[in-house]
Amino acid sequence: MEELVFGGKHFTVRVFTNRPVDYAFPFFGIILVDGELIAGTCKIEEGRKVLSPIDLDPYVTVQDLLDCCEFFLFDTEEQGGYMVGDIRRHARERGFPVGEKTRLFWSSLGVYMGDYTFELVNNTVNLHYYNDDIFRYNECPEFEGRYRGTISVPLKEFVEDALKLSYEYLTKYGPILDELFIKEGLSPTDEELYDALWKRHKNVKKLYREIFSGDSKSSR
């Protein structure tokens, strides 16, 4: 499969481009965090183990990572994100021991059936992931039971990754993916959506500099 790969120190997004596109989940993709497969599954193809992608909207992936950063760095509410209902209760029903008063942010990350709860504990982001694709369709023994887990990332590095992914998407990969929309006779991403994503990126970048008193190569 042809693919585009962008990422940071912890997050890696792989977007496969050789498929017809639509607007709900335009592409197939895989997301890894510290090498752990949080979106996609593993299958046996022609006797080989391969990582198999799932329906994905990479615009929403980077948008929600930035929104999560802004929520943790600026907002004061206990819960945020894109879930209707009690995120803490939902996370506990999934088997995650989230704290009583920790701040929580929920997102699908633009993944079909995606289920990700981000928990801020002191200066660490705990990503609690439930990968339904592995739970339902995994064919590889080494991924048995790995549909659910928690990955801890320092808050500063989490923000740096979100900034790096969004910058690469805005300046390089988004326009490439838009060409595929046009090729399929569909409209490219609206400029207002790009403007909104740039605004999110700049807001998080400003907060990063104010809070962490530094600028790094990965926080463009």
**Summary mean pLDDT of the chain:** 93
CB 106 within 8 A of CB 93: no
Q: What is residue 219's predicted lDDT score, i.e. its pLDDT?
A: 56
**Rounded distance between C-alpha atoms, residue 202 and residue 204, angstroms:** 6
At residue 19, the pLDDT reads: 72
Given this model, what pLDDT does residue 220 score?
Answer: 63
pLDDT by residue (tens digit) across 149-163?
999 999 999 999 999
Render pLDDT for 167-214 as a digit per residue (tens, 0 to 9). Answer: 999 999 999 999 988 888 888 889 999 999 999 999 999 999 999 975
Alpha-carbon distances, residue 107 vs 1, 67, 81, 123, 175 (angstroms): 27, 10, 6, 20, 24
In this prediction, the residues of the chain whose per-residue pLDDT falls under 50 are 215-218
Name the residue among 170, 189, 173 with its Cα closest to residue 181: 189
Q: Long-range contact list for 46-49, CB < 8 A, 24+ apart?
A: 49/139, 49/140
What CA–CA distance (Å, rounded) separates 154 from 157? 5
Torsion from C-alpha of 65, 67, 70, 75, nearest 10 degrees = -130
- pTM greater than the 0.95 cutoff: no
Residue of 103, 202, 192 lying closest to 155 (CA atoms) = 103
